[in-house]
């Protein structure tokens, strides 16, 4: 095995170990101590009350939030595209057995992300 291949495999192994350690830490240490985030309507209400916003200010904040939410959606799409490209490039380095394992790994990541982001989606007006 060439030194370049060994280096790449070491980097991938370090990345995988970091993901595993991060997952375990989040799951057992952080996740158990955090309560669920309030939904968008509740967060909006608390924000308006805390800052004593009048209706005109609240309308302006809502407008800004909508505008920035659209920008963030565009960023998420770009991130998804880059993530997919990275995954495809990684797949090129793997053999068929490793690709099957990688498929399961990706499914686990996506399931974890879906659980973590439940309730984060803000309803459209």
What's the CA gap between 95 and 52, in Å, rounded? 59
- Per-residue pLDDT, 124: 46
Query: What pLDDT does residue 30 have?
Result: 64
Domain containing residue 78: 54-116
Give domain status of residue 27, yes or no.
Answer: no
Give domain status of residue 60, yes or no.
yes
Residue 121 counted as domain residue: no
Cβ atoms of 76 and 95 within 8 Å: the answer is no
Cα 38 to Cα 14, 42, 123, distances in angstroms: 35, 6, 13
Contacts of 53 (CB under 8 A, 6+ apart): 47, 61
| 2 inside domain | no
Which pLDDT tens digit goes with each residue over 54-71? 999 999 999 998 899 889
pLDDT in tens, 69-78: 889 999 989 9
Task: Tell me if 12 is assigned to some domain.
Answer: no
Q: What is the pTM of this model?
A: 0.45
Q: How far apart are CA 14 and CA 4, in angstroms?
A: 15
Structural domain includes residue 91: yes
Inside any domain, residue 96: yes
Q: Which has the higher per-residue pLDDT, 84 or 119?
A: 84
The average pLDDT across 27-36 equals 61
4 domain residue, yes or no: no
What is the mean pLDDT of the segment spanning 111-123? 69
Q: How many domains does the chain have?
A: 1
């Amino acid at each position: 095995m060439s030194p370049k291949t060994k280096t790449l495999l070491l980097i991938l192994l370090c990345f995988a170990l970091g993901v595993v350690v991060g997952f375990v830490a989040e799951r057992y240490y952080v996740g158990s101590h955090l309560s669920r985030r309030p939904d968008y309507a509740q967060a909006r209400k608390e924000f308006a009350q805390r800052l004593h916003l009048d209706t005109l200010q609240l309308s302006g904040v809502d407008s800004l939030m909508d505008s920035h939410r659209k920008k963030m959606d565009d960023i998420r799409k770009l991130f998804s595209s880059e993530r997919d490209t990275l995954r495809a490039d990684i797949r090129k380095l793997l053999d068929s057995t490793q690709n099957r394992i990688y498929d399961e790994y990706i499914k686990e990541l996506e399931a974890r992300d879906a659980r973590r982001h439940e309730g984060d989606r803000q309803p459209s007006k």
